[in-house]
Amino acid sequence: MANPVTPAKATRQTTVRKPARRIRGWDNRMAFFTLIPSLILLGVFVYGFIAWSGYVSLTNWNSLIPTLTWAGLRNYATIFSSFRFQSDLRNLVVFTVLFIAGDLVIGMILALLVDQKIRAEGLFRSIFIYPMAISMVVTGVIWSWILNPTTGINLFFHALGFTHVPEWFLSSRFAPSVHLGQIDIGIPVGLLAVVIAAVWQMSGFAMAVYLGGLRSVPEELKEAARIDGAGPWRTFWSVILPQLKGTTATIVVIQAAASLKVFGLIYAMTGSGQDFSTDMPNLNMFQTTFQGDAFAQGAAIAIVLLLLMAAFTVPYVLSMLRGER
């Protein structure tokens, strides 16, 4: 009816296609059905449990007896005014910034070096990535030995004649130390030791991602820069680095997510530290909830973490999905 000219060939095609299309329609529905078990599991274990935690955070359940009476935002007020949680937020910001900066710089340097058409490239890559295969609690245990103030790296400093050696993760100093309300704003020196361990563990990821990025920069661009008389540094800053903007953004998002999840490393390496100088919200939540039995306050900490996480991962995942099409 739609097409006045109907050649015999076209008619034959439709008769062949018809059953296939019918099956496909049914199979597309089948594809949806097969997702249902996973959707139910995640619906309960992720979204349902988050909603449940959110609800707990608004109740008075701060003892072993689940008192689910309405508390409004009181638990949030309690945690935000507490010395410990304020310290946590400072530590989280310091840790995230230093950890990501260290990862980006070291990851980029290693990627550039490995990308120089060198021999044994695979071996070097393997060496820089292997810490990713190790548990963060193992990392914590090993580095608490290497950075132990009475031994480890400090033996080298002693051998070199230094009398004032770093206290590493046992330090309770702040640099700089600016009082703001009840907490010191500044870099908790003890946290630097944790950053070192974390960068050791995760910089291989940044290297691997940057290496992939470097290899997808079109050769013509580098060639054009060379013809224009740009040296290697100039080419890197003005041609290659801008091409890697998306790659850098990806590393920042993934590593920021990792930093918001850091738990085992702190637990095994330093604990909360003196005056919570190496504490993190995750550890605070765990101890508040399961050792202090303040379930509602623990839930409030968890919800704050979740919101922080969602603030940058939701846009990231959305743009990733949109970029596919």
Q: Which of 10, 30, 77, 105 binds other proteins (CB under 8 A)?
A: 30
- Check residue 4 for interaction with other proteins (CB under 8 A): no
Q: Which is nearer to other proteins, 7 or 323 (CB)?
A: 323
Q: Which of 46, 105, 180, 224 binds other proteins (CB under 8 A)?
A: 46
| Among 3-11, 163-171, 237-245, 302-310, the segment contacting other proteins (CB under 8 A) | 302-310
Q: 284: Cβ–Cβ under 8 A, 6 or more apart, which residues?
A: 84, 85, 88, 272, 301
Total chain residues near other proteins (CB under 8 A) = 100
Q: Which is nearer to other proteins, 39 or 77 (CB)?
A: 39
Residue 180 phi, psi (nearest 5): -135, 105
* Min CB(18)–other proteins separation in Å: 11
Say how far apart CA 156 and CA 165 lie, in whole Å: 10
Paired tokens of 69: 């009476």
Q: 130: Cβ–Cβ under 8 A, 6 or more apart, which residues?
A: 204
* Min CB(188)–other proteins separation in Å: 21
* Min CB(307)–other proteins separation in Å: 9
- Check residue 98 for interaction with other proteins (CB under 8 A): no
Paired tokens of 142: 């090993």
* Min CB(71)–other proteins separation in Å: 15
Q: Which is nearer to other proteins, 100 or 110 (CB)?
A: 110
Dihedral of the CA atoms 294, 295, 296, 298 (nearest 10)?
90
- Check residue 89 for interaction with other proteins (CB under 8 A): no
Q: 152: Cβ–Cβ under 8 A, 6 or more apart, which residues?
A: 145, 146
312 to 141, 235, 285, 305: CA distances (angstroms): 31, 31, 21, 12
* Min CB(8)–other proteins separation in Å: 20
Q: At what angle do helices 295-324 and 281-290 cross, to 10 degrees?
A: 140
- Check residue 53 for interaction with other proteins (CB under 8 A): yes
DSSP string covering 263-315, please?
Answer: -HHHHHHTTT-GGGTT--HHHHHHHHHHTS--HHHHHHHHHHHHHHHHHHHHH
Q: Which is nearer to other proteins, 49 or 83 (CB)?
A: 49
- Check residue 67 for interaction with other proteins (CB under 8 A): no
Q: Which of 143, 168, 169, 174 binds other proteins (CB under 8 A)?
A: 143
Q: Which is nearer to other proteins, 46 or 175 (CB)?
A: 46
| Among 93-101, 135-143, 170-178, 219-227, the segment contacting other proteins (CB under 8 A) | 135-143
- Check residue 126 for interaction with other proteins (CB under 8 A): yes
Say how far apart CA 24 and CA 76 lie, in whole Å: 52
Paired tokens of 130: 């292997």
